[in-house]
Structure 1
């Protein structure tokens, strides 16, 4: 092959044998217009024709806008309903006059007082009847007296106005406006303006009369309305204030019945609005009615709204008289939440939480670990173990988290987690229960160690944090302990009492130290779960449960009465759906959990655990923070501040405090990085040493540190001999 038969591919801007070739000029396809034609074209574009074309484009754009389309739909609907609307308005007009006549007759004949007298007569109460009759006579006398005074004043005022009008008319007829005093001319100007306004008022009076009569004759049925929204695709799911008011009016609650019977109209502090996959409204209930009363009638309310009980959630708002009502769209709660977002990729920061499912509003809900403890329960096979696995999988994807699992049963629910777990025990024997109790005792000791360590850190932070957890020397990494089937542990004849005491202590005090306890049970009874455990647990999760005792045992006392009920969740039908409290700012959340398959032949848990272990191995190779390193804990416990300060002095007689702090940070950055003068002073004060001033600066004297070390050594020797 020679250079002559080489064919460049793709063609390049080079000649044969690599010689440079000029790039081809850019070809523009167009037509040059003479100046007169170009000017004419510009004139057409800027002239009336161009303006009309641009206006036409704008009009077409507006006409095809979604808002205009909705407006056309509403206008068309109202046009089609015009005969019906006119008929209803005519009926309202006639009924309004009838109501005015009825009110006038009732007023003129003292109808309300006569009704009281009639009721007293039927009841045989002569005293009440006599009082009512005397009230009628007194009211009639007072009324005629007022009418007489009003007629007298009207007559006197009419005569005065007539006299003044005659005088002004006479003056206006005899004296030109230009010759009048200025103030008198202004009076006539005002009179003319009032006359013009009077004409318009007289013309508008019939319209006002018509509107007033229609308003008086309107349908006063609770929530009644006749201007309804036209054709919707989700017509079956449409909920508005009218429907809610009608549903509440037929609950059979006495205070509400009286309120609606007297023509009352509910106040909606939050009008019905779309909220996720449903509708939310907040109602101010009338006096005598509470949200608990409505929650107790939840099944009836759901039927009145055309919903299942699971789709209707009346709960108490910020006050007893505020009703928070959320109604799901039909069929929306039947679907699952979809695949877990972290199933194939991603890591987790346990301080930020783990996605565990979707709320009734269609929003992803996160399960948090920091400053949280969990209790999860429900009837067998409803999803409690799947939820705990999701929480544990999320925690496993945080390489700094340490995980313990104790299963007081014989199953393999958490077997795929074994490579990632620091402690793992399974079984129904006493050895597993003893190991779980020992774990709780170790958590209590770890909690105490972390509390003491935090007190020695710069600034004495009140709780652990992401920054502290990332420093292995401190040993403040997240520590998460799962006890599955915890009712077996708390009910154990030998270890139950001790387990209860330790669990309550860890739940109460371990939150701020990065220690999280997760309990799950399928037997949430009054005796199987200690009340103090439920009362102090941050996050309660209830899948389908059998009764209110199990409901409140998981979610907290009084939740069933407040309308937060997992008893309405149906076995099998609502598998994977749970009621949660404490997971968000809302009073409760109805959550459809994400599902990671783990069953016969399908295991999506193990790949996630493998991914977590790969991340940890990579961090260990690069020296990053990883969980469960006991040497790191020992290092944190063995920090000797006094000896380190002596090393930082480097044999000098006195050293400035700023220099000491710098050398300490160089000596042990994990502990001393970020220390301030106050931290150094506090460490020295433990040995009665105080920085002194020398040459205008604060210094640490070597003799003070040496004497303190010698005294401490002698003290330890004495204790050892004793």
Structure 2
């Protein structure tokens, strides 16, 4: 059963309603056609085309996104406590400086106490007389309107004078009562103080306070009783206006409003013994440009250059500059003492304090899986800087030393007690260089032997990787870390006889030994391609460039592009900024000054190192000194007249691996040519290459024997 639809009695019939809808649609179509100039018939025949919607798209600059709750909670405006409260090194240094300053001030005043007593004795009576005069003048009211009474007297106006005098007497009438009461009270207090019931300590304290008070009241204003013991240094406080002025002085920025202090980090704040400002430079200007114009920046700030330290912000865009301005020149600041100077131990596998940055913050150094290079011109402080590293390792009882000073000045003599026999040398002679070369051959042998041993202990679970760690070093005394410094290493590298072989050995050691607990510390004052071969320097992790004259030496020591990235050791003054250098390879590239350790301090540290070790172990298994001419004749095949260098190098490495495992054909050629044997074109095995002849080897050996005889 179906139901009829419900209809409204007032609605028109369905046919009429449909007709009205059709008529309304027709009228709308006629109006649209008229608007387009079409007749009604044309409009009826025309196709109905719906145009595509026009897509406007989003704005080019999206609206600012409101930060969510997590971002708001993670925002930090800066440290709550000052850095010297949270850092133990700075806290210790601050307490030491406070105690030192207090001791100085107290000591100065104690020494000058007789002078202070004389001043009090001289000025106290004058103060008493001045006080009595002031009290009497106030009580009698003579000092109130005396100038008005004098003016009336000068004008011969007795009426005005009498009125003013009566006013004075009315004021004095009650002041005499006040002065009398104060006098009786003071007198009573004095009698009570003089009585026997008052302790002498109280009497002396009140008397001293009274005399000092009278002396201060009676002294001239320009003659204080106490001497001035604090002279505050004159410095320019860093402000936004001064920051913009200094940066504009470089000529890189034309308008001050282009230098922006970014919100949240750009506030100029106290940072150590100075102020830090972080700014965003305009488009096209990067922080390295300002660092390069440091002299102009310091000139714009009207400050010495070593008081102004612009720096590149790590992990920020290149146009963000960190400008730190010290309260006084950094060269005039006293460095904090080395934290390990009085006690403590280090760990080869953990960082220790090496020195301090310009803000006097401690800077750390780490030895494991690394090698070190210190390069700088004479007087820049290479030996001073390297000695800090060696002194730190002297305080680890596991570390073994092999020290060779090819300058022969004795800068490293204090470390001789820490070296096993045969692993210390000091001198610029050929014998010391030969022993240093033997030490390198020993280190190569150590590289060959340590790898399998470390792998064995790693499989036992002492390390998750095939690298040396402290657990393995403590387990096996044969795997203790070795620190091998070579001062003036260029003397070894450029030696005409053993230079190429030594270079090849060092290249192999810095590549292989880093994971095996062998750390080379190379020092040089000759910075060129011959003295610093790329095969050696490119594999050294921690490189420190001290004072040098140009960007060429900077890039050779720190790596290509270091100068372009902001390294400026050229701004250190040779012979003045000793120990200052730019360091790369551990943390961000930064200017660091090594902690100052004089010879006596190094000797005390080395004595502590010997005591920690309980003495020094026996002699190292160094390869015996060999003569390359005799060794070549020993491996020569009798039927051969001549042989190539590469073949001879392979034979020597197989027969005498402890001495020739790292020798290359070029190094062997250099060794033999140093003995007076020429390198010739030799035809052997169907090919002609560089080599030598047995007859030349024999003749050179005979000449050597005759010269020795």
TM-score, scaled relative to structure 2:
0.50
Structure having the larger proportion of residues in helix: 1
Bigger radius of gyration, 1 or 2?
2
